[in-house]
Structure 1
Amino acid sequence: MDMPLAGLETLLRRLGAVDAGAWAAVTGSMRSARYGIERPIRLEAGGLLYVGEGLLKQYVRHGRTQPAINRFIRQGEVYAVPHDPDPVYIKTIQPSTVYCWDSHTLRRLLLEYPSLLGSYLKIRDMQENALDTRLWLLEQTGKAKLALFDRTFGQLRAHLKGKDLGNYLHLAYAYISQIREK
C-alpha cells in the first residue's frame, strides 16, 4: 500500500470501523495530484481532501479586502470542504501530494458504506474543534499567541514564512520578528 494512504487508513480505522470493501472503495474513487510550492488547489464544495505529503494553508475571503489564513492542513490530515458557495481557497506551503474526493463521490461512498459515515462526522467534529482552538488562540495577547501556537502545532512554525504566521495569528510580521530575536 502507498505509505501516505496507510496514514489515511489508520486515521479512518481510529475514527470508526472501516471494512476492506469500504477501504477499497475509498482508494478506488480518489483523485490524486502533486503540487509544487505556493500552488493553488481548487476544491469542489462538499468534497474531501487528504494531505498525503506536504503542508497547505486555507484562506478565507468572505468580506475581506485581503485573504486571511484560516487554517493549516498538515500531512496526514483530512479536510472536509464546506458547502459554502464561495470556493475554498487553498495553497500549498511545501510540495504536496493531495488525495481528493468530490461531493458526488463522497455522498455515494457514505451511502454505500454506512461505516464511513461515523468517521466522516468525526472528521467534521475535528475541524470544528480546530476552529475553536484557533478562536481561543486569537483571544490571546501577542506573546501568548505565539506560545499557544507552538504548544498546539508543535514544529509547524519552522515550516512557515513569517508573513503566513503573522496572517494566521493576526500579528504584524515585524512584531513576530522582534520576538524571535529576543
Structure 2
Amino acid sequence: MTIIALAASSRDQSLNVALLDVILTALDGAAGQVERVDYRLFEDTPQYSARREAAEGPPQGMKDLADKISAADGLIFVTPEYNHAIPGSFKNGIDWLSRISVTLMAVKPTLIGGASASPYGAWRGMKSLRPSIELLGALTMPYMISMSGVGSKADIEARFQDPMARVRIDAALNAFRGQMAAKQ
C-alpha cells in the first residue's frame, strides 16, 4: 500500500508539516509506504490558464505528481487556512492536476487535516479543499483532523495525547485505516 502525503506549506517550523509528521506517526505503519510530496512543487508551478495549457501542456512536475497519485492507494493532505480557503498555490496545483485527469483521485481514501494557532484550526481551509479533490474522485473521510490553538509541534503532540481530542482524531484515523484496509 502506498500513500501520497502532502503538507501545503514550506514555511520553516510549519504547523501543518508538524501535523503531517504526527499523523504519520499515529498511523504507525498502518499507512504502508508513504511518499511525501515537497510543497515547493506547488509553489513553483506556473499559474494555470487555458492559454498556457494549450501552448505548453501541463507542467512536467504536475504530470509526474499525477502519475504518483494515480499509482497510490491513499492520500493525506494537510493544509493551512488562508483567508478561509487553501493556499492559492495549492488550489493552482489541483487545477493543473484536474486538467491531467478528472478521475485522478478516483475512490482513493483521502484524509484531510489542518493546524492553526487560530481558534478555528484551519477548519475553513480544510472545508474548502474537499470540493476540489472530491471533483477528482477523492474518497474523503467523514472526519478531518483539525488542530486549533496550537503553536508548535509539541502542542500538536500534546493534543494527540489528550483523551478528549483523541475521540475526533481516532475517528478520522480509523476511518482512513478502514478504507485503506478495504483496498487490500
TM-score, length-normalised on structure 2? Answer: 0.24
Normalised by the length of structure 1, the TM-score is 0.24
Bigger proportion of residues as strand = 1
Larger radius of gyration: 1
